[in-house]
Amino acid sequence: MTRVKTNQKKPKSHWPVRDGSRFPHLRELSLIYEGRSEVICLHPPDISTQGMFINTSARYPEGTVLKLRFRLTVTAVEVVTRGEVRYCLPGVGIGVKFLELPVESERAIESEIRQDRAARGTRRKELVASG
């Protein structure tokens, strides 16, 4: 059997490398495209202390600055900050990097992520023990 070698490179992924752990829940989110007065209510799939991915069919150019307001699920802490669109997946959503995230908000997000991990670990142990 003869193997054919190819010099094809793997295509680069359009998905950027994430800087931190992500938390997959928020109670609510609204964003305001600076320069416009519209408010869009959304349900994002995940968040970290660095940024978030927001499911939306709206298109925002890379570099767009958005005003963000959201409430964390467990603690109900409201976070208000600005974020820059780092990438856009048309019809899917946008990746946003936080700008000037207040220290209290960063700590609240970290706490939510830790609590979520602990809850997931407990559920896994229960499933293993019952299985």
Q: What per-residue confidence (pLDDT) applies to 37?
A: 57
Give 44's contacts (C-beta < 8 A, 6+ positions apart).
26, 29, 52, 53, 54, 55, 70
Which of the two residues, 63 and 13, has the higher pLDDT score?
A: 63
Q: What per-residue confidence (pLDDT) applies to 11?
A: 47
Quote the Cα angle for 76-92-8, to 5°. Answer: 130
Q: What per-residue confidence (pLDDT) applies to 128?
A: 59
Quote the Cα angle for 83-62-48, to 5°. Answer: 40
> What domains are there in the chain, each with its CATH number?
28-130 (2.40.10.220)
Confidence of residue 79 (pLDDT cuts 50, 70, 90): very high
> What are residue 71's phi and psi, to 5 degrees?
-120, 130
Q: What per-residue confidence (pLDDT) applies to 106?
A: 95
Summarize the confidence of residues 80-92 as an average pLDDT: 93
Q: What per-residue confidence (pLDDT) applies to 22?
A: 56
Summarize the confidence of residues 57-85 as an average pLDDT: 90
Which of the two residues, 9 and 130, has the higher pLDDT score?
A: 130
Q: Could you give the count of Cα atoms lying within 13 Å of 11 in the half-sphere of its Cβ?
A: 3
Give pTM, 2 decimals.
Answer: 0.66
Residues 19/50, Cβ–Cβ less than 8 Å: yes
How far does the chain reach from its first CA to its final CA, in angstroms? 46
- For residue 89, is pLDDT > 60? yes
Range of lowest pLDDT (16-20, 40-44, 85-89): 16-20
